Amino acid sequence: MTSVIGTWRLVRAIARDGNGNALPAPYGGYPTGRVVLGADGRMMAVTCDGRREIPDGGKREYSSYCGNHSFDGKQLVTRVDAASDPSRIGSDQVRDVRFEDGLMVLRPPARTYGGPVEQRELYWEKIADV
């Protein structure tokens, strides 16, 4: 089993609709973020739209949360104890995990992000062991 422990940088994000068709890239096509997964079982994650300017009428997508995590080789589960979205506090954030071309790919459950239901995949590059 490949370890998820370390500091990871968001390098790519994709979204698909319920039929598997590509949707516009999340985070305005310029994803930025970090995930830190500690050997002590704590984690924190932050993602956002990394564009310098947001088009008129647009909204900068941003999310962050932290909590205790576990990883069984296929799923990363975090019991959230602080978050930018208060509705996540006390919830389990579940991410399917796979490793592809040296990247960790996290796949959250399908959900709406202000529009139709999307299935996202976030691609993370390890930048530090802790």
Q: Could you tell me the domains of the chain?
A: 6-128 (2.40.128)
3-state helix, strand, coil in the chain (%, to 5): 5, 55, 40
The structure tokens 């954030």 sit at: 93
Helix (H, G, I), strand (E, B) or coil at 86: helix
For 92-96, what is the mean pLDDT? Answer: 98
pLDDT at position 1: 64
pLDDT at position 34: 98
- Give the model's confidence band at 103: pLDDT under 50 very low, under 70 low, under 90 confident, else very high: very high
For the whole model, what pTM was predicted?
0.94
Angle (CA) 27-29-35 rounded to 5° is 50
pLDDT at position 104: 98
Q: Which of 69, 21, 28 is nearest to 47 (CA)?
A: 28
**Which residues share a beta bridge with 94?**
77
For 69-73, what is the mean pLDDT? Answer: 97
Q: What is the pLDDT of residues 11-53, one digit of tens each?
A: 999 999 989 999 999 999 999 999 999 999 999 999 999 999 9
Q: Which of 121, 123, 110 is nearest to 18 (CA)?
A: 110
